[in-house]
Amino acid sequence: MFDLSPEHREIQATARALAAAVEPFADEADEYVEVHPKVRELLAESGLARHVVPAAYGGASETLDPLTLAVVREALMYSSAHLDSMFGMQGVGSYSLAVGGSDELKAQWLPKVAAVEAIAGLALTEPDVGSDLRAVTTTMVADGDELVVNGRKSFITNGGAADFYCTLVREGEGWSMVLVPGNAPGLSIERGADLIAPHILGELTFTDVRVPAGNRLGVPGKAFSLMLQTLAVFRVTVAASGVGLAQAALDEAKAHALAREQFGRPLIELGAVAQKLAQSWTDVEAARAFVYRAAALAKDDPLGHLDYSSMAKVHATEAAAAVVDRSVQTMGRFGLVRGSKIERLYRNARPLRVYEGATEVLLDSLARRLAKGAR
Ligand SMILES: Cc1cc2nc3c(=O)[nH]c(=O)nc-3n(C[C@H](O)[C@H](O)[C@H](O)COP(=O)(O)OP(=O)(O)OC[C@H]3O[C@@H](n4cnc5c(N)ncnc54)[C@H](O)[C@@H]3O)c2cc1C
């Protein structure tokens, strides 16, 4: 069994305490499509967002530790998807800045991200572009000491709430990234779609948005790698969210199966129910062990271990879907009640298999790697 270090255990305890503080109003928070003020306040107070920022800019460690992030997301998602998203996006939204931004730009924004005084966003997806990100159509051109952005971004987490968006654009024949402040003139933001699992989403339109040349992230025309580096660090943390959600669903089903009797016995003693619970426990433990291992591997060389992060994400998020579905079944009609915790978990499990690399897309790229001899 993979074991966590004492330092990781300490961070886990802090994350569990934060999750427990949010739990009493998690139903409400998970319905929010804007930042829940109390969740933001508690996240800031916990100091956990310091783990998504390098130490030189107010963060907790010299380089980000995917295992720390995984342990935190597992604990937060156990209680609330809104809380998990708020924490995760501070990192996902700011990592390309931390890797590709100028010292001045980093000093301007990253300490605020660590303190949750600024909210981060990452704008890749467009109305007609999803998994195939090389097809993005939003453009950027340099004009003197300014950069001019035009186009649209869609389904952007924290859209409308974020203080800045690290934005993927076409520039000439290549791909570039740029930091666009949320209040930049020419950037208009509409509320995004209402999802079955409510989420802060915005639709961004850039009309001749001008930002200083210093807002560029990475090398002109060669910034696609910044996006890949972000995924290499954070994909495995989405897998960890899947583990936290699966554990919560298992705990709900177990409590119900212990408390409810049918045919003169607790449900947990009825063969088919017992089998389901044991299978779910097995799935949760296997997913957790693999996620921790993949996250530990990602620490020193995230891109070099992207295959394992992808496998962990596929496995853990698909396992979460199976576990939550079995849990609903175990709870019979009580599993179908709107407003119940299990119903919320059932809805919250679904997006995990779509964003930050949909299952099929990840399997497709893993198969290509396998064909080329990776193993
Ligand atoms: C809650 C939520 C939050 C999000 N937040 C953000 C955000 O902050 N920033 C951002 O930029 N985007 C965000 N997105 C968008 C997300 O990244 C995309 O939904 C995702 O990339 C998939 O794109 P798509 O939905 O357009 O699906 P498509 O790319 O149209 O795919 C549809 C289906 O086809 C499959 N498919 C596609 N290509 C292949 C292939 N080559 N081989 C096999 N199967 C394939 C997919 O697996 C999927 O099942 C968010 C989405 C959600 C749901």
* Number of C-beta neighbours around residue 359 at 10 A: 17
CATH architecture of 225-371: Up-down Bundle (1.20)
User: Is residue 137 left, alpha or beta, with left meaning phi > 0 and alpha meaning psi from -120 to 50?
Assistant: alpha
Backbone angles phi, psi at 197, to 5 degrees: -110, 95
Residue 81 has pLDDT above 60, yes or no: yes
In the predicted structure, residue 319 carries a pLDDT above the cut 70:
yes
Mean pLDDT of 166-195: 98
354: Cβ–Cβ under 8 A, 6 or more apart, which residues? none
Q: Specify the residue with its C-alpha closest to ligand 1, atom 11.
A: 124
Range 289-295 average pLDDT: 97
Distance 135 CA to ligand 1 centre (A): 13
CATH superfamily entry for domain 120-221: Butyryl-CoA Dehydrogenase, subunit A, domain 2 (2.40.110.10)
Ligand 1 binding pocket, CB closer than 6 Å: 122-125, 130-131, 155-157, 195, 199, 351, 354-355, 358, 360-361, 364
Q: Which amino acid is at 249?
A: A
- How far separated are the first and last CA of the chain, in Å rounded? 22
Contacts of 333 (CB under 8 A, 6+ apart): none
Q: Note the pLDDT of residue 374.
A: 82
CA-closest residue to ligand 1 atom 35:
360
Identify whether the C-beta of residue 51 lies closer than 8 Å to the C-beta of residue 11. yes
pTM of the entire predicted model:
0.97
Q: Measure 156 CA to ligand 1 centroid, in angstroms.
A: 11
Q: What is the pLDDT of residues 108-120, one digit of tens each?
A: 999 999 999 999 9
The arithmetic mean of pLDDT across residues 229-236, rounded, is 94
pLDDT, tens only, 264-285: 999 999 999 999 999 999 999 9
Q: Identify the CATH class of 6-114.
A: mainly alpha
Q: Which residue, judged by its Cα, is nearest atom 17 of ligand 1?
A: 355
Task: Give the Cα separation of 140 and 149 in Å (integer).
Answer: 4
Give 297's contacts (C-beta < 8 A, 6+ positions apart). 305, 308
Enumerate the domain spans of the chain: 6-114, 120-221, 225-371
Q: Which atom of ligand 1 is nearest to the CA of 159?
A: 8
Phi, psi of 169 (to 5 degrees): -135, 160
Name which residue sits closest to atom 45 of ligand 1, judged by CA.
361
Instruction: Find the 195 Cα to ligand 1 centroid distance in Å.
Output: 14
**By CB neighbour count within 10 A (0-12 exposed, 13-18 middle, 19+ buried), where does 373 fall?**
exposed
Residue 300 pLDDT level (bands cut at 50, 70, 90): confident
* Position in ligand 1 atom list of the atom nearest CA 93: 8
Distance CA 338, CA 335 (A): 9
- Give the confidence band of 3 by pLDDT, cuts at 50, 70, 90: confident
Separation of alpha carbons 356 and 120, rounded Å = 16
Residue 225 CB partners (closer than 8 Å, separation 6+): 218
Centroid of ligand 1 to alpha carbon of 163 (angstroms): 24
Residue minimizing CA distance to atom 2 of ligand 1: 355
Question: Residue 1 pLDDT more than 70?
Answer: no
Residues 6 or more apart in contact with residue 275 via CB below 8 angstroms: none
Judged by phi (left if over 0) then psi (alpha if -120 to 50, else beta), residue 339 lies in left
The angle formed by the CA atoms of residues 325, 331 and 337, to the nearest 5 degrees, is 85
For residue 192, give the DSSP letter: -
* Most informative mutation of 138, 348, 355, 368 for ligand 1 (most atoms within 8 A of CB): 355
Q: Which of 7, 6, 99 is nearest to 56 (CA)?
A: 99
Rounded-to-integer distance, Cα 338 and Cα 214, Å: 49
